[in-house]
Amino acid sequence: MVTGARTCPTGRGLARDQHWAASDANDFETEHRIYHEDAVLEYPQSGERTRGRRNIQNQRASQPSKKRFAVRRIIGGGDLWVTEFILTYDGKPSYTVSIMEFRDDKVARETQYFADPFVAPAWRAQWVERMDT
């Protein structure tokens, strides 16, 4: 379920909201309308780069796991927008950051970073507070 996203009734805000809602619903056609035909998607942690909207869509549609998206926040302005979300594959969460670079009203480049949750060490408990995730 897409939660926590701020909506904007037109333009890039609407496109982002539709993108994340469609991502969560496994609506691959709607999910990928946000990308230029020559868009580039990069996953630096795995060293992968996907070129072209159709290749991005096909690569994601081929993912065998059941996935869910929970948007935590979207920040940015102009041509650069960052989305923090929890991407859950088959019940296993991955804290994810998506950096979208727009050209006109579509994404020209997206970079995504993924991180697994981890147990907080006891030694820093005196300085921190627990967050709801």
Helices (DSSP H) in the chain: which residue ranges?
11-24, 28-31, 53-61
Look up the pTM and report it. Answer: 0.86
Which pLDDT does position 37 carry in this prediction?
Answer: 98
Is 127 part of a structural domain of the chain? no
Residues 52 and 39 sit within 8 Å (Cβ to Cβ): yes
pLDDT at 7 over 70: no
Is 83 part of a structural domain of the chain? yes
Is 123 part of a structural domain of the chain? no
Q: Cα(15)–Cα(7) distance, rounded to whole angstroms?
A: 10
53: domain CATH number is: 3.10.450.50
pLDDT at 8 over 60: no
Give percent of the chain with pLDDT exceeding 90.
Answer: 73
Which pLDDT does position 95 carry in this prediction?
Answer: 97
Number of domains in the chain: 1
Tens of pLDDT, residue by residue over 85-127, are: 999 999 999 999 999 999 999 999 999 999 999 999 999 999 9
Is 20 part of a structural domain of the chain? yes
Averaged pLDDT score across all residues of the chain: 90
- Other CB atoms closer than 10 Å to residue 38's CB: what's the count? 12
Is 4 part of a structural domain of the chain? no
Residues 32 and 46 sit within 8 Å (Cβ to Cβ): no
Q: By residue range, what is the domain housing residue 73?
A: 11-117
Longest dimension (CA), the chain: 50
Range 58-74 burial, b when 16+ CB lie within 10 A, else e: eebeeeeeeebbbbeeb
Is 89 part of a structural domain of the chain? yes
Is 5 part of a structural domain of the chain? no
| Residue 118 DSSP SS3 | coil
Is 130 part of a structural domain of the chain? no
Question: Alpha-carbon Rg of the chain, whole angstroms?
Answer: 16
- Other CB atoms closer than 10 Å to residue 125's CB: what's the count? 10
